[in-house]
Amino acid sequence: MTTAIQPSEPTSRPVPPASVPTAADAAIALSIQGATKSFTRDSPSLLGRLRGKRAKRVAAVDDVSLAVPRGEIFGVLGSNGSDKSTLLRLISTLLLPDAAAISVFGLDVVTQDMAVRRLINRVSVDAAFFKKLSPWENLVYAARLYGLPARPARARSIEILEQLGIKRSRIDEPLENMSCGMQQKIAIARAFLTSPVLMLPDEPTTGLDPRSKKDVQEFILGIRQKHDATILLTTHNMVEADRLCDRLAIIDSGRIVALDTPAALKERNRAAGGDGSLEDVFMTFTGRSLEDGDYDEDEDEEQGKEAP
């Protein structure tokens, strides 16, 4: 690798490879009980300050409980600002909950965070890379951090990049020359390279064109089948939720308002006089369409969502 490394990127710390959880812990990959998180909104606008507004605690994730069995693809479906990413950050040890019992294969995310990190990998759209290095160089770098030998890491990197539709002719180009969609695919490739036992893709296909969406969805389905992975993903794409997920939780203002298989949710909707589409299911449980978004500070105040 001859290209200069930019010191500010990325911030990953070496983490030993994932080990397969013991049989005693194997049935439930993820357990969340009563997860709650609020934030301090501490910088009101000038207009807000003139009106006498001050910093305040705002409830985000609000008493979320769920359990994901090993091998399941579980979807968290919600509009913008519904706290999907915040929930993922609580699971992936990046945020401390105000209250919760969250465990990954029986390991507590707060007290056993380093052990949990060996089992998980979160993929987000704001993934950090060495932008002057090529996709495979970035992947090999990540693999080495996880303790994989260089030669198999390179072969596996190329294989995964090809599965995701990145042509071999492009894998030597600097990442900074690539489109956002391609960089997103490379973030997914990097996360799956180390075969985490619990995968946490945060909106893995948002912003991708239809062909790339399909590549990523096929890849996720294939990984679950081949690698005994459990996947909890967030999305606001109904088709994706329906196609990929064994079960779905619909999240609205940080609360789970429905949780079941896509088929059961649609059936219940039909039985209640709806049209049986996931759009209608979403509308019934949240009172809004996915496109409307979730964030409305004044609405939160009106609904008494301000935390104590």
Q: Which residues pair with residue 76 across a beta bridge? A: 234, 249
Give the one residue of 86, 93, 121, 195 binding ligand ATP; rule: CB under 6 A.
86
Is the dihedral angle over the CA atoms 234, 236, 240, 243 positive or is it negative? Answer: positive
At closest approach, how far in Å is the CB of 30 from ligand ATP? 17
Listed ranges 9-17, 81-89, 146-154, 259-267: which one lies at the site for ligand ATP (CB under 6 A): 81-89
**Cα–Cα dist 3/176, whole Å:** 12
Nearer to ligand ATP, 22 or 42 (CB): 42
Listed ranges 44-52, 75-83, 139-147, 155-163: which one lies at the site for ligand ATP (CB under 6 A): 75-83
**Cα–Cα dist 307/50, whole Å:** 23
Residue 168's binding partner among ligand ATP, Mg ion, none (Cβ under 5 to 8 angstroms by kind) is none
x/- map, 65-84, Mg ion, by CB under 5 A: -------------------x
x/- map, 225-254, ligand ATP, by CB under 6 A: -----------x------------------
Residue 230's binding partner among Mg ion, ligand ATP, none (Cβ under 5 to 8 angstroms by kind) is none
- The position carrying tokens 């789970």 is 256
At closest approach, how far in Å is the CB of 202 from ligand ATP? 7
Give the one residue of 85, 121, 212, 269 binding Mg ion; rule: CB under 5 A.
85
Q: Kindly identify the residues of this chain, within the stretch 15-74, that bind ligand ATP according to CB under 6 A.
A: 39, 60
The reply on whether position 83 binds ligand ATP by CB under 6 A is: yes
Backbone angles phi, psi at 294, to 5 degrees: -120, -15
Which helix (H) or strand (E) segment is 104 a member of? Answer: strand 99-104
Alpha helices, DSSP H only, in the chain?
A: 46-50, 84-91, 113-117, 135-145, 150-163, 180-193, 210-227, 238-244, 262-271, 278-286, 297-302
DSSP string, 256-297: EEEEE-HHHHHHHHHHTTS-S-HHHHHHHHHSS-GGG-S--H
Closest by alpha carbon to 186, among 235, 142, 240, 120?
Answer: 142
Give the one residue of 295, 296, 299, 301 binding ligand ATP; rule: CB under 6 A.
295
Q: Which residues pair with residue 207 across a beta bridge? A: none
| Number of alpha carbons in the 13 Å side-chain half-sphere of residue 85 | 11
Listed ranges 7-15, 77-85, 170-178, 261-269: which one lies at the site for ligand ATP (CB under 6 A): 77-85
The reply on whether position 81 binds ligand ATP by CB under 6 A is: yes
Give the one residue of 85, 134, 194, 286 binding ligand ATP; rule: CB under 6 A.
85
Residue 135 is encoded by which pair of tokens? 């996709």
What residues make contact with ligand ATP under the rule CB under 6 A? Answer: 39, 60, 78, 80-86, 236, 295
What residues make contact with Mg ion under the rule CB under 5 A? Answer: 84-85
